[in-house]
């Protein structure tokens, strides 16, 4: 899809042709024109079941990460960063 970009000051003739621009008469604007196609489908939110079904599965042989694992990693990095 190609877009046409127009920069101009809105004058009375433009405001008559495109009434939505009337509040902008005398002001510089940028108009971007796209060819009208089929209306976009409205995106709906996923249900919890759909969200869980789409998540990536853990690679085989990789254990789940526990809170203890996270705490240990934070402590190790803090110790390393402090130069101990």
Beta pairing class for 28-34 and 3-9: antiparallel
The answer to whether the pTM exceeds 0.75 is no
> What's phi and psi for 56, nearest 5 deg?
-75, 145
Domain ranges in the chain are: 1-35
Q: What tens digit of pLDDT does each residue of 3-24 get?
A: 899 999 999 999 999 999 999 9
Q: Which residue do the tokens 């920069």 mark?
A: 7
Residue 1 pLDDT > 70, yes or no? Answer: no
Q: What tens digit of pLDDT does each residue of 31-60 get?
A: 998 887 766 667 788 899 888 888 888 888
Of all residues in the chain, the percent with pLDDT exceeding 90 is: 51
Contacts of 14 (CB under 8 A, 6+ apart): 8, 21
Q: Which residue do the tokens 């089929």 mark?
A: 38
With H, G, I as helix, E, B as strand and everything else as coil, classify residue 1. Answer: coil
For Cα atoms 68, 74, 59, give the angle at the middle one, nearest 5 degrees: 60
């Amino acid at each position: 899809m190609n877009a046409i970009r127009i920069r101009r000051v809105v004058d009375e003739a433009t405001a008559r042709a495109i009434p939505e621009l009337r509040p902008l008469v005398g002001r510089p604007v940028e108009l971007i024109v796209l060819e009208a196609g089929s209306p976009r489908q409205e995106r709906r939110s996923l249900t919890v079941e759909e969200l869980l079904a789409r998540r990536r599965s853990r690679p085989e042989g990789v254990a789940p990460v526990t809170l203890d694992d996270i705490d240990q990693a934070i402590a190790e990095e803090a110790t390393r960063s402090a130069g101990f």
